[in-house]
Amino acid sequence: MTLKEKLETDLSAAMKARDEVRVRTLRSALTAVKNEEVAGKQARELSDEDVVRVLTREAKKRREAAAAFGDAGRDAQAQAERDEGVVLDEYLPAQLADEELTALVADAIAATGAAGPRAMGQVMKAVNPKVAGRAEGGRVAAEVKRQLTV
């Protein structure tokens, strides 16, 4: 069963269980997946990796919206966004621990022979395929920058 099929099956189950948060979240996630499928010149079927990429983007939107609502004093909306983020996290790969990320970045720096902040792009290019979906880009970039400036 593909990830998209799992989302559709879980949406059906959530509708039967009348779980409003899960229904709302899965509907918006499936809409984002379908929009991605028809984007571009030709419609295509997304692979599981592409679906994970879309879900990661959706989860990031939820985190940012929750922070914005929280800063504006709209706690109910912020909590709703956090609840949706929790549902999306169930479909994403486990996030890398800080130690694992540090080790992956150190390995990439050693493999590329990079030195200094100017080599950040080179290291990011080497690290990103290894952490795809398991660490947010900003977190990876911060770790690469930290290790290159030491």
pLDDT tens-digit profile of 67-102? 999 999 999 999 999 999 999 989 888 888 888 888
CA trace torsion 106, 136, 91, 99 (10° rounding): 30
Per residue in 136-145, pLDDT (tens digit) is: 888 888 888 8
- Residues 5, 14: Cα–Cα separation, whole Å: 14
Distance separating alpha carbons of residues 65 and 67, to the nearest angstrom: 5
Position 132 confidence tier, pLDDT thresholds 50, 70, 90: confident
Cβ contact 123:114 at 8 Å: yes
Q: What string of DSSP letters covers 121-132?
A: HHHHHHHHHHHT
Domains and CATH numbers, the chain: 3-90 (1.10.1510.10), 98-149 (1.10.10.410)
18-63 pLDDT, tens digit each? 999 999 999 999 999 999 999 888 888 888 888 888 998 999 999 9
Residue pLDDT, tens place only, 44-53:
888 888 888 8
